Amino acid sequence: MVEVNMTTIKKMLENEQVQKNKAAEKGHFVLSTEVDRRFLSLDEIQRPEQAMRRLHDALQPFSSPVEVRSNRHVLKVPGERNCIWLVSSGNLSYFRSYDDLKIAISPAPVVAGLAALFSPFDRHVYRASRGAKVASLTLSQAHSVINNLNLWRDVSELLGFVVQMMCYRDEHLVSKDSYSVIRAKLIEYLNKKELNDLNQTGIASYIQNTTHLSRSLVYNYLSALTEGGYIKIIKGKLTEIIKLPEKF
């Protein structure tokens, strides 16, 4: 029985190599049967700072200032379904439009709404931090500037970054048990400590705002992890992760 299995495996590997060789000759890519089962971490995702800055600075002269009434106010331009948002100071938070779940936060400079340049997209709404400097411009204006200055490579870098962040969220939040979600959010919170301090956001609120976990469940886990010596929380804010178990 073992011989049959080994023979079968050997043939599978040989067939895979043959396919790769043929594909290489034709210039095609073959997806490997080997699967990387390691979760994507935030450390592996690099924000394209230079591309963000170039786009922001190129679009800003053509933009119009937008008043930020409060950090609860959804950014809107009357008569515009989609537009490009520029944040020059402060930060921008992204929310799902259908359930108002907070999905991301980005420090200035920010250029948001680029996906709408290719197809209408209204699945996200944005809120800026109090005192943030925000401006907007129409899709046609942005398209013209990007085209004239040949900035499409920068646009693709930013959209590629968005895809990576969506992959990160998908791997850590979709079909996961409650503890795995909370564990990922604890690490994420500490990686964004400066932004959370700026927004005065505590760890419990951060988890509740970015997941659908109940308040009682979140507090129970935080209490147990604190008492177990795995994390340190001071005045509601996560200050240190000592060691988080894979399972809890």
Q: Please tell me the distance from the alpha carbon of residue 223 to that of residue 231, in angstroms, as a whole number.
A: 9
Q: 217 Cβ partners below 8 Å, 6+ apart?
A: 178
- In this predicted model, what pLDDT tens digit does every residue of 59-109 receive, in sequence order? 999 999 999 988 889 999 988 889 999 999 999 999 999 889 999 999 999
Q: Is pLDDT at 13 greater than 60 in this prediction?
A: no
Work out whether strand 133-137 and strand 64-66 pair parallel, antiparallel, or are unpaired. Answer: antiparallel
Q: What are phi and psi for residue 246, nearest 5 degrees? A: -65, -40
Long-range pairs of 28-34 with CB within 8 A, sequence gap ≥ 24 = none
Q: Domain spans of the chain?
A: 45-165, 176-241
- 54 or 122, which is more confident? 54
Q: Give the mean model confidence (pLDDT) for residues 135-163.
A: 97
- Given this model, what pLDDT does residue 23 score? 45
- Given this model, what pLDDT does residue 194 score? 78
- In this predicted model, what pLDDT tens digit does every residue of 154-195 receive, in sequence order? 999 999 999 999 988 888 777 678 998 999 999 999 988 877
Check: CB of residue 56 under 8 Å from CB of residue 88.
Answer: yes
Q: Which CATH class is domain 45-165?
A: mainly beta
- Given this model, what pLDDT does residue 177 score? 87
Q: 11 Cβ partners below 8 Å, 6+ apart?
A: none
Q: Please tell me the distance from the alpha carbon of residue 122 to that of residue 93, in angstroms, as a whole number.
A: 15
- In this predicted model, what pLDDT tens digit does every residue of 109-118 receive, in sequence order? 999 999 999 9
164-176 exposure pattern, b = at least 16 Cβ within 10 A, e = fewer: bbeebbeebbeee
- Given this model, what pLDDT does residue 33 score? 44
Q: Please tell me the distance from the alpha carbon of residue 82 to that of residue 68, in angstroms, as a whole number.
A: 18
Cα–Cα distances (Å) from 230 to 182, 190, 227, in that order, read: 13, 14, 8
Q: Please tell me the distance from the alpha carbon of residue 6 to that of residue 175, in angstroms, as a whole number.
A: 34
